[in-house]
Structure 1
Amino acid sequence: MPQATPQVPGKLFGLFCLASYLLSLSYGATFLLSLLIGSRGGNEHDAGSVISAAMLSTFVAVLVSGHLSDWLGAARSIALFGLLLVAASLGFAMTPGFGHLLLFFGLLLGLGWGVFYTLGPIIVASLVSPAQRAKYFALLSGSMMTGIGSGPLLGRAASALGLPVTSAFYLAALASLVGVLLFWRLGARLKSTQAASAAKISWQATAQVLSSRAVFPIIMVGLGGCVFGGLSSFQTSYAAARSLDYSLFFLGFMSAAISSRMLIAGYVVKRDPLRASCLLSGLMLGSIVMFAFGVQSGFSYLLAAVMLGVGYGLTYSVINGLAANEAPAGSTSQALLLFSLSYFIGVFGFPLLAGKIIVDHGMATLLLTVLAVAALNWSITLGRLLWRRMKVESALTN
Structure 2
Amino acid sequence: MSAAAPPVSSRLFSLFCLASYLLSLSYGSTFLLSLLIGSRGGNELDAGSVISAAMLSTFAAVIVSGHLSDLLGAARSIALFSLLLVVASLGFALTPGFGNLLLFFGLMLGLGWGVFYTLGPIIVASLVTPAQRAKYFALLSGSMMTGIGSGPLLGRAASALGYPVTAAFYLAALASLIGALLFWRLDVQLKKTPSASASVARISWHATARVLSSRAVFPIIMVGLGGCVFGGLSSFQTSYAASRSLDYSLFFFGFMGAAISSRMLIAGFVVKRDPLRASCLLSGLMMVSILMFGFVVDDGFSYVLAAMMLGVGYGLTYSVINGLAANEAPSGTTSQSLLLFSLSYFVGVFGFPLLAGRIIVEHGMVTLLLTVLTIALLNWLITVGRLIWRHVSRIKTLQQA
Could you say which TM-score interval applies, normalised by the shorter chain?
over 0.9
Overall identity of the aligned pairs, in %: 83
Q: Distance in 1 between matches of 2:281 and 2:292?
A: 17
Per-residue deviation, residues 254-313 of structure 1 (Å, max 9, x unmatched): 000000001000000000000000000000011011111111111111000000000000
- Mapping of 1:35-46 within 5 angstroms? 35-46=35-46
- Amino acid of the structure 1 residue aligned with 2:135: K
Per-residue deviation, residues 360-397 of structure 1 (Å, max 9, x unmatched): 00000000000000000000001000100011111122
Per-residue deviation, residues 31-68 of structure 1 (Å, max 9, x unmatched): 00000000000000000000000000000000010010
- Mapping of 1:130-145 within 5 angstroms? 130-145=130-145
- Amino acid of the structure 2 residue aligned with 1:200: R
Q: TM-score, normalised by structure 2?
A: 0.98
- Contact 1:66–1:201, Cα closer than 8 Å, also in 2: yes
Look up the match of 1:338: 340
Look up the match of 1:251: 253
Counterpart secondary structure, 1:171: helix
Cα distance, 1:197 vs structure 2: 4.0
Look up the match of 1:364: 366
- Contact 2:61–2:111, Cα closer than 8 Å, also in 1: yes
Look up the match of 2:186: 186
Is 2:29 the partner of 1:48? Answer: no
Q: Distance in 2 between matches of 1:260 and 1:18?
A: 18
Cα distance, 1:230 vs structure 2: 0.2
Q: Distance in 1 between matches of 2:265 and 2:390?
A: 29
Per-residue deviation, residues 112-144 of structure 1 (Å, max 9, x unmatched): 000000000000000000000000000000000
Q: Distance in 2 between matches of 1:5 and 1:392?
A: 33
Look up the match of 1:262: 264
Per-residue deviation, residues 209-243 of structure 1 (Å, max 9, x unmatched): 00000000000000000000000000000000000
Unaligned 5+ runs, structure 1: none
Structure 1 segments, 4+ long, off by >6 Å, are: none
Q: Distance in 1 between matches of 2:300 and 2:191?
A: 47
Q: TM-score, normalised by structure 1?
A: 0.99
Look up the match of 1:230: 232
Q: Distance in 1 between matches of 2:84 and 2:384?
A: 40
Aligned with 1:329 (options 317, 328, 331): 331
Cα distance, 1:196 vs structure 2: 2.6
Look up the match of 1:148: 148
- Mapping of 1:189-338 within 5 angstroms? 189-193=189-193, 194-338=196-340
- Contact 2:69–2:199, Cα closer than 8 Å, also in 1: no
Aligned pair count? 398
Q: Distance in 1 between matches of 2:309 and 2:65?
A: 34
- Contact 1:37–1:97, Cα closer than 8 Å, also in 2: yes
Is 2:353 the partner of 1:351? Answer: yes
Unaligned 5+ runs, structure 2: none
Look up the match of 2:5: 5
Q: Distance in 2 between matches of 1:191 and 1:98?
A: 43
Cα distance, 1:199 vs structure 2: 2.3
CA RMSD of aligned residues (A): 0.9
Q: 1:341 to 1:2 in 2, by over 3 A?
A: closer
Look up the match of 1:21: 21
Per-residue deviation, residues 148-194 of structure 1 (Å, max 9, x unmatched): 00000000000000100000000000011000000001111112222
- Amino acid of the structure 2 residue aligned with 1:220: M
Per-residue deviation, residues 8-49 of structure 1 (Å, max 9, x unmatched): 000000000000000000000000000000000000000000
Q: 1:170 to 1:211 in 2, by over 3 A?
A: same
Q: Distance in 1 between matches of 2:197 and 2:382?
A: 33
Cα distance, 1:2 vs structure 2: 5.3
Cα distance, 1:6 vs structure 2: 2.2
Look up the match of 1:165: 165
